[in-house]
Amino acid sequence: MSNEIIGKIKETVELAEKEIKNIKNNDELEQWRIKYLGRSGFILSFTREISSMHDDLKPLAGKEINKLKKILTGLYEEKKKEIDLSYVINELGHKKEVLIYTYPGREPDFAYFHPITIITKSMINIFKKMGFGIWTGPEIETDYYNFSALNTPENHPARDMWDTFYLDYSKGILLRTHTSPIQIRTMERFKPPFRIIAVGKCFRKDAFDSSHSPVFHQMEGLMVGFDINFAHLKGALIYFLRELFGAEIKVRFLPAYFPFTEPSAEISISCVICKGKGCSTCGGTGWLEILGAGMIHPEVFKNIARKEPSYSPDKITGFAFGMGIERIAMLKYCINDIRHFYNNDIRFLTQFRLNLGDNNEILL
């Protein structure tokens, strides 16, 4: 009896294999499954036969039937995969993107932050420690926010300080020349007191050379409140510069002119290359000019106060500063040409990464 069932099982396997080879679609496969693995299929009919067998033979027969079930289930699953894959390839293959969900995922390429991102993160972290919030603003600006509200009305000679890309001259739509319009936008939006920094791209009709790019990044700072004075500005900037370049650097404030700040200052640090002795990087002066700053001009507050009365210049004071991020990165990492940041030369980027080493600010 047991030989009989073993023989039948063998025959069933041969038949099932032969039949499944010719199956082309899921409907045929379902018929096959019902025939062999379904309720009235081969497996269950063999199982039923066991009950009429002699007790001694039952374990062996049961084992053989289980083996058969495993083989048939394996055949079924293999075929199912084959049909699904051929459906994806034949039916969907003409479409450009095909999701073959059984394929393993593609490994992502390894990548690092760009030097400008790294320096920006480091700079932001220093200001965060001083309680500055982070804000942003549009790259496409209006004449009002980029100039007029910043006390630089039409025909004001100071407009020549920034050679501007206009998108629509008659409507005064332009690419912002600096991040200072964000001062106006944040004051219109938030009541004093507050302090923010803002980072973003700026655009000027400057030809590329070793220290100029027509597109570059600036970081703007703004603090407004009821008793803010020049000492606060000095304190914040000296702390920032010493954190970034080292406690040993000297910081110098010289009088300067910006239409939107009064008094205004141009701030330099002692040369990071020659430590103030004089070299080609600092043009022999021992100083590197690093940012512009000043106390917010009362005319700027008046422009805001027209919309938001809490900015009346007899109640509110504040300071602002702005700096070029590429120039800071060049000094911090001793990079002699701004164009390296934009050429995407993998040799430069790799060398930059190697110079930073493991103990760098990438993880900030």
Applying CB under 6 A, which residues contact ligand FA5? 178, 180, 204, 206, 212-213, 216, 218, 220, 258, 261, 292-294, 320-324, 326-327, 338
Q: Which residue's CB is nearer to ligand FA5, number 258 or number 287?
A: 258
Lookup: tokens for 230: 């020049």
For ligand FA5, the closer of residues 200 and 322 by Cβ is 322
CB 150, min distance to ligand FA5, A? 8
CB atoms within 10 A of CB 350: 11
Q: What is the CA 299 to chain-centroid distance, rounded?
A: 37
Beta strands at 194-203 and 133-135: parallel, antiparallel or unpaired: parallel
CB of 96 to ligand FA5, least distance (A): 41
Smaller CB distance to ligand FA5: residue 9 or 320? Answer: 320
CA distances (Å), 32 to each of 20, 73, 84, 242, in order?
A: 7, 11, 16, 78
- Cβ count near 299 (within 10 Å): 16
Q: Which is nearer to ligand FA5, 46 or 203 (CB)?
A: 203
Task: Report in angstroms how near the CB of residue 246 gets to ligand FA5 at its nearest.
Answer: 20
DSSP summary character for residue 277 = S
Identity of the residue, 80 or 234, whose beta carbon is nearer to ligand FA5 in the bound complex? 234
Based on CB atoms, which residue is closest to ligand FA5, 259 or 276?
259
Q: Which amino acid is at 114?
A: H
Q: Which residue is nearest to ligand FA5 (CB)?
A: 324
Looking at beta carbons only, is 251 or 338 nearer to ligand FA5?
A: 338
Helix axes 42-50, 2-21, angle to 10 degrees: 170
Smallest separation (angstroms) from ligand FA5 to the CB of 170: 25
| Adjacent-strand bridge partners of 218 | 200, 324
- Residue 358: CB minimum distance to ligand FA5, A: 30
Report, in Å, the least distance between residue 120 CB and ligand FA5: 14
Write the DSSP assignment of 106-134 as a string of letters: PPPPP----HHHHHHHHHHHHHHHTT-EE
Q: Quick one: which of 233, 211, 206 has its CA closest to 317?
A: 233
DSSP 2-42: HHHHHHHHHHHHHHHHHHHHT--SHHHHHHHHHHHHSTTSH
CB of 149 to ligand FA5, least distance (A): 13
